[in-house]
Chains A and B, each alone.
Chain A
Amino acid sequence: MEGRRRVLTAVSTPAGALGLHVGMAVTQAQALVPDLLIMDADPYADEEALERLAVWSLRKYSPLIALDPPDGLMLDVTGATHAYGDAAGLLADILRRLADVETAARAVCAPTYGAAHGLARFGDGKLQNEPLKVIDPCELVKAVAMLPLAALRLEPKIVQTLSALGVETVAQLEAMPRASLALRFGSEPGRRLDQIYGRLSEPFEAVEAPRQIEVDRRFAEPIGAPETIARYIRKLVDELCQSLEEAGLGARRLDLHFHRVDNAVQAIRAGLAKPSREKGQIARLLCDRIETVDPGFGIERMVLAAPAMEPLGLRTMSSLGDKPVPDVSALVDILGNRVGEERLFRIAARESHIPERSVKRIAPMADPTLLRWPARWPRPARLFARPEAIETMALLPDHPPVHFVWRGVRRRVKRADGPERIYGEWHLSEAEWLSVRDYFLVEDETGARYWVFRQGDGVDAATGGQEWFLHGLFG
């Protein structure tokens, strides 16, 4: 958004080939390319992604990394390149890994931050042709000479005025008398020039990796017996809980890695429904899973980390007369650990009249819900995931079946209630625009009660094909 115009903030390579460019109005771009796919810019998400990338590079390439928003990272690779041979090797590795996740990037290694910033964005090589470049200190002056002024990180207004004066490149600006430049544009152009040539140092705000609480233990003699593993799990949990307590946090997820002597790593992951630092609870969760670990020829190192942590919630210690509600989150963790977290749930109401859509699964320890199902309409105790087709004899348009055949058995209907008409959710899908289900509660001679429905209103064929289905069983 630029004022009231919507403009392109980024274009893909194929779109660029079609003549679209950054800064172009969206309407114009749509006129050029009729079936253009447009996505709204999300600068906050971009910044977060950049930060994640910075944290990842921190582990991989260099201990000093700064964000260069909106689209760059600055890595101080001084003394960090030997693992990749040289600077070019390091840049190639970065580009290769980014290409693996389908990200196009340009990497430039230069003696100053300013030069690296400018060359990465405005360097002569095109993105595809020459994605990486290493500038030798003695080539610096030559390399930056032909860069446009925009590469200097100046305000667009200054760049505009300068270009109106005929100054287009860094070399031209450098050749101008500094005093009159400062008089007209302030200190900014001079400072940026000094920074790109390395005459002035630049602040560097290094990104810090989020602190991860991790404890580990190495064994001189590899261990393998489940009892020994359990003993050390308890020791590690003790240490971890100590650190968690110091940080004032509770763990939500725990990763326990076993490094085996043959260099293989086995892992146990456990989740907690509520943040916790209860030693007994955490140790139990991990010890429950020891049998899934294959110690092979022995384990020489165990690492216990808490990748997800949250501040511990406040708990009311006393209440007026109310009975304390027992906390079942520890049980939820144990069961979730055993059968899988997604298999443990509560069922909450959803705002839909369609029976199968009126329920949703929520986390077992989620906050209480407010929405309830309407109490007046009878609902079956068992609902089939797929309504089962039945053969019926029924009068149209609104009579319940006289008898029906379900699972090969013919049942005569003694009593019935209905129809309860449920319309399709036209606001969700075009196909449901007209569709109708007429539900009947029918009771057969034995007293068994069924929930049957007819597709369609019995008059208009557009509302459904008049087939009958059995959808559920009442108790």
Chain B
Amino acid sequence: MTERGAPSRIDALRARIAEIEGGDRRARDVLPFGLETIDARLPGGGLALGSLHEVAGGAQGVTDGAAAALFAAGIMARTEGKILWCMTKADLFAPAIAQAGLDPDRVIYLEAQDETSVLACFEEGLRHGGLGGVVAEVPRLSMPVSRRLLLAAESSGSIGLALRRWRRREDASDFGQPTAATTRWRVTTVASEALPVPGVGRPRWFVELIRCRAGESADFLVESCDATGRLALPAGLADRPAAAQAWAASTAA
């Protein structure tokens, strides 16, 4: 859609909308994923810093949020400064977070008694401004609460990630409700790529950009975070060396 129509008019309109919306808001920086396919779909070429984003797991991940947690850790790994990770159920396994590129010395965990206190600490962390980002595992996120969080993030420039994780699968219908978050992601684990030998290949995710403010929704098939928190495109989709293609053809046959 961006390419269609006269670019100058579209740009002028965009600038006007930003003016109406933003007022005195600071010009936002973005955190690119480093993957052209994803970054091209996001306004500004990356995840907006000083903003609120939502991540949830798909399928079974709705309740365990394992892939979503690694996705969040990968994003946080590419920020600077300390990270606050708020949750009610401390079942996160820190070595996996470290493997997703987020150094354990950077993460401060907060195990709150209840949901309300997670949200309060989430907001407090976003408002502080000294943190690189805040992740909070929350089941429910209402419009007013998310708006508060967004304002807190905008005031400080820290990135906020609401990791939506529900107790029961049925509750996940809540994810359809609107919130003030800038983007909304769903990360579902899919079968890893077949290897020529028995074993499990690099984990793959089906990442859906369900909602994106000033952008369109999209979906991507990616390989999970490496040790620096970066996603990768599966070799089958990306350009790859001829040898690998020949090899893939032989395994397929």
Contacts and interface: CB of A to CB of B under 8 A. Distances in A.
The answer to whether A and B assemble together is yes
A334 B113 CA distance: 16
B130 interface: yes
B38 interface: no
B98 A373 contact: yes
A254 B178 CA distance: 44
A359 B94 CA distance: 7
Contact of A372 (B81, B92, B98): B98
Interface string B111-137: 111000100110011001111000000
B129 A415 contact: no
Contacts of B99: 373, 375, 378-379
B200 A415 contact: yes
B121 A381 contact: no
B190 interface: yes
A385 B90 CA distance: 9
Nearest to A384: B91
Contact of A382 (B69, B187, B190): B69
A473 B199 contact: no
Interface string A407-441: 00000001111000000000000000000000001
Contacts of B108: 328, 332, 344-346, 364
Nearest to B201: A415
A379 B95 contact: yes
If over half of B's interface residues share one DSSP class (helix, strand or loop), that class is named, otherwise mixed; here it is mixed
Contacts of B185: none
Most B CB contacts (10 A, CB to CB) among A325, A330, A382, A474 go to A382
B130 A415 contact: no
A9 interface: no
Interface residues of B, number: 57
B120 to A, nearest CB: 7
Nearest to B194: A415
Interface in B169-207: 187-192, 198-201, 203-205
Contact of A338 (B64, B117, B191): B117
B66 A381 contact: yes
B199 A449 contact: no
B227 A375 contact: yes
Nearest to B127: A331
A385 B128 CA distance: 32
Interface of A, helix, strand, loop or mixed by DSSP: mixed
B77 interface: no
Contacts of B71: 475
Interface stretch (A58-66, A179-187, A347-355): A347-355
Interface residues on A, range: 35 or more
A359 B113 CA distance: 21
Given A332-B108, A347-B94, A325 B131 contact: no
B105 A383 contact: no
Interface in A309-329: 323, 325-328
A288 to B, nearest CB: 10
A475 B189 contact: yes
Given A347-B104, A448-B59, A475-B189, A382 B81 contact: no
A140 to B, nearest CB: 65
22 contacts: A328-B128, A328-B131, A330-B128, A331-B128, A335-B125, A339-B117, A343-B111, A344-B110, A348-B105, A349-B95, A375-B99, A375-B227, A379-B93, A381-B67, A381-B92, A383-B93, A417-B199, A441-B200, A447-B190, A447-B192, A449-B189, A475-B67
Given A334-B124, A415-B201, A449-B192, 6 more contacts: A328-B130, A331-B128, A381-B96, A415-B199, A443-B191, A448-B60
Interface of A: 323, 325-328, 330-332, 334-335, 338-339, 343-349, 355, 358-359, 364, 368-369, 372-373, 375, 378-385, 414-417, 441-443, 445-449, 472-475
Q: Which 10 A-B pairs have the closest CB atoms?
A: A326-B130, A475-B67, A383-B93, A475-B70, A347-B94, A381-B66, A475-B66, A373-B95, A447-B190, A379-B95
